[in-house]
Amino acid sequence: MGFYIQYVVDALSLGSLYALMALGLVIVYGILKLVNFAYGELIMITGYTLFLLGGGPLPWLVMAMVAVLMAVLGGILTEYTAFRPVRSKSVTAVLITSFALSTLLQNAALLFISPRARTVPLPDIFTQTVRFAGATIPLRNLITIAVAVVMLALFSWLMRRTILGLAMRAAATKFTMARMLGIPANLVITSAFAISGLLAGVAGLLWLGRIGSVVPGIGGEPLLIAFIATVIGGMRSLPGAVLGGYLLALIVTTLNYALPPDLLKFKDAFTFSLVILILLWRPDGLLRGPATGQRT
């Protein structure tokens, strides 16, 4: 019993984390059709902000808020430097600029901070555990699930019920036409990046809560996860990204629990083969998203 509860909570909390990260990526990737390789560096920014503020007089919650704010600013910065100048001209060019930006930020961290891991301040609640029906569950996992639920609800309201979501999609597909309808297209696209930064910041806090320290390369893994979750869930669909996040977590957790240790090292090969299979079965991902308006 305890084993199963443990398994379920693990899968759910990991899934929540993945879903948040995927959502932040998909808002840029799915809506604006731009792959933001510098997305992981937003998490890095969150981490280093926390580290730099650590030991200071601020209460943790304030530090966390500042850190998330920095990620939001980072998102906006990404847009200004890497996307605005090249957007809609060439998908590959955007990919490379965002990658360049990602190297740039990582090396800046290396140059100005340190190549070594730096410990970030964390509140006690992140390291406490609860016992429940024979399972020991870190509180952090429960917090992750709760935060994800709140964020996802907030976010789906924002995208569905407000005109901002529509305006974003419009501005992304036909920039000039959107402006001709009075939509401040630049601002709208910037806000997509800001939201992406917000999600990265929040996901980053939770991610850091697991690791406890930050290194310049910390963004690589979350980026990869978000990327894959987005893809299996459905590249153009926001609920798809969430589903993809949970599914990926389920796969990873299950493999982690089920594979014997000598096969466990091939876990990544299994995971990615599964991803390939899913894509072959459904090239557009599990949830198709809004039907495309393509026709002859």
What's the token pair of residue 104? Answer: 């740039």
Cα(169)–Cα(91) distance, integer angstroms: 17
Asked whether the beta carbons of 56 and 275 are under 8 A apart, the reply is no
Cα(50)–Cα(240) distance, integer angstroms: 31
Under rule CB under 8 A, residue 293 binds other proteins: yes
Under rule CB under 8 A, residue 253 binds other proteins: yes
Q: Give the nearer residue to other proteins in terms of CB position, either 69 or 100.
A: 100
Under rule CB under 8 A, residue 46 binds other proteins: no
Identify each DSSP E strand in the chain by its residue range.
118-119, 129-132, 135-138, 213-214
The tokens 């597909």 sit on which residue?
Answer: 173
Under rule CB under 8 A, residue 164 binds other proteins: no
Identity at 207, one-letter amino acid code: W
Binding residue for other proteins (CB under 8 A) from 10, 20, 64, 248?
A: 10
Dihedral Cα 57, 52, 80, 38, nearest 10 deg: -130
Under rule CB under 8 A, residue 132 binds other proteins: no
Binding residue for other proteins (CB under 8 A) from 95, 113, 147, 158?
A: 95
Closest distance of CB 45 from other proteins, Å: 16
Closest distance of CB 207 from other proteins, Å: 7
Under rule CB under 8 A, residue 173 binds other proteins: yes
Binding residue for other proteins (CB under 8 A) from 169, 189, 203, 247?
A: 169
Closest distance of CB 217 from other proteins, Å: 7
Under rule CB under 8 A, residue 182 binds other proteins: yes
Cα(20)–Cα(16) distance, integer angstroms: 6
CA atoms within 13 A on the CB side of 112: 10
Under rule CB under 8 A, residue 210 binds other proteins: yes
Closest distance of CB 74 from other proteins, Å: 16
Q: Give the nearer residue to other proteins in terms of CB position, either 58 or 96.
A: 96
Q: For residue 121, give the nearest of 187, 72, 52 by alpha carbon.
A: 52
Closest distance of CB 205 from other proteins, Å: 14
Under rule CB under 8 A, residue 146 binds other proteins: no
x-or-dash string of contact with other proteins, 215-234, rule CB under 8 A: x-xx-xx-----xx--x---
Under rule CB under 8 A, residue 156 binds other proteins: no
Under rule CB under 8 A, residue 60 binds other proteins: no
SS (H, E, C) 143-193: HHHHHHHHHHHHHHHHHHHCHHHHHHHHHHHCHHHHHHCCCCHHHHHHHHH
Binding residue for other proteins (CB under 8 A) from 8, 59, 85, 150?
A: 85
Segment near other proteins (CB under 8 A); pick from 65-73, 143-151, 153-161, 264-272: 264-272
Segment near other proteins (CB under 8 A); pick from 68-76, 150-158, 179-187, 197-205: 179-187
**β-pair type (129-132, 118-119):** unpaired
Binding residue for other proteins (CB under 8 A) from 100, 113, 147, 158?
A: 100
Region for residue 117 given its phi and psi (left: phi exceeds 0; alpha: psi -120 to 50; beta: otherwise):
beta
Asked whether the beta carbons of 49 and 67 are under 8 A apart, the reply is yes
